[in-house]
Structure 1
Amino acid sequence: MIVRLHLDKDDELAQHLTNRLNSPLDWPEGGDLDTEHVARIAAAAACEVSYDHAANGHLVDLFAALPLPDTSEGREFWTSLSLAGGDAASNIDPGNAGGPFFDRLLDGNETGIAGRVLSFLEELNDDEHNAVADVIGAALDLLGGARYLGKLWLRDAETTAWHVVLASRRQYDTAEDRERFLQAWRNA
């Protein structure tokens, strides 16, 4: 069964299937699938991956809005960003990011890019933050107000990267961890 091939018995989807839907991972053994079970399994699978993939996809989309590194406009942009962001910019600079920066998402390193974005933003001082916002906003060139647009891009990148990092932490939660959490709140 396709779902079983991609499940770790301790991950959230497996626990949802076994505990909430009463569907053992080796199910059905000679049994028939009905539409309700197929729909519930599909919905559970979609919910399990959608948050992680959506956050990572959005992070990629944010970078896709910037000039491409292998163009003359991109080289100028990334040079300007490096000058504006100082040492912090090395966290996301295409030449320093280790080659296939976004290919790592496909290889399962979903927090690597998010971690670099968060490190980049954390290391910027206020002046560098404003200068980086100016560079990014000017490159977006949507509605004017370069600094404002750049700050929106930075804020969105930070929040999205945080979502990726937080979601990756949750993948190690077990049913016992969730029950301990719920019980702690019940007892508070």
Structure 2
Amino acid sequence: MIVRRHLSEDDELTQHLTHQLNTPLEWPEEAGLNTQHVAKIAAAAACDVAFNQAANGHLVDLFAALPLPGTPEGREFWAELRRAAGDAALYIDPANAGGPFFDYLVKGNEGGIASRMLSFMGELDDQQRDAVAKVIGDALDHNAFGAGGRYLGKLWLRDAETSAWHVLLASRRAYETEDDRKRFLQAWRDA
């Protein structure tokens, strides 16, 4: 892991632990594991695995806000999306996504949906992206989100694209070795 977390008196995590949770950093004294150790473990875990899982979960949440495939509303929505996006829609279309699209996450293929999402976004030209934003925005529940139309669709697309990028960037770390991290840090020290 490249990120190192050090706790200081003014650190947000230190403030949270000591003031909100009322746990001194040295607690329990003379023990093998104290609050500061637990905080370092939590920070390392948050920087490593949880980020990828959270981004994937968020990507699933974005798709869950859309009309469900197989329902009348869903069939109409996905047909409109195919018309708006052209061939790019094949990357995320339920009928073409290779079966159980989101089951892949459960089976450990965490980058599959993200790759498809970025491929979808990369294939859209500006006109298609605008048309897709309108289709998505019109399908979202305006009462639940407090805005409407194309603007909501643009937010959805931007969020999905960024979440997919986060998944792929975080999954890249799975292939890094300790030597890779040392080489990275040394290169920046020598720059």
TM-score range, shorter chain: 0.7 to 0.9
1:98 matched residue in structure 2: 98
Please state whether the residue corresponding to 1:182 is helix, strand or coil: helix
2: distance between equivalents of 1:178 and 1:86? 42
Mapping of residues 12-161 of structure 1, within 5 Å = 12=1, 34-36=32-34, 39=38, 43=42, 44-142=44-142, 143-161=146-164
2: distance between equivalents of 1:46 and 1:167? 11
2: distance between equivalents of 1:99 and 1:140? 24
1: distance between equivalents of 2:174 and 2:154? 31
CA RMSD of aligned residues (A): 2.1
Please state whether the residue corresponding to 2:78 is helix, strand or coil: helix
Shift of 1:172: 1.1
1: distance between equivalents of 2:126 and 2:108? 33
Q: Which amino acid aligns with 1:104?
A: Y
1: distance between equivalents of 2:32 and 2:45? 17
- Which has the larger displacement, 139-148 or 129-138? 139-148
In structure 2, stretches of 5+ residues that fail to align are: 5-30
In structure 1, stretches of 5+ residues that fail to align are: 1-11, 17-32
Higher relative contact order (CA 8 A, sep 6+): 1
Please state whether the residue corresponding to 1:171 is helix, strand or coil: helix
2: distance between equivalents of 1:125 and 1:77? 20
Q: Using structure 1 for the length normalisation, give the TM-score.
A: 0.78
Identity of aligned residues (%): 65
1: distance between equivalents of 2:187 and 2:47? 25
From 159, 172, 176, the equivalent of 1:173 is 176
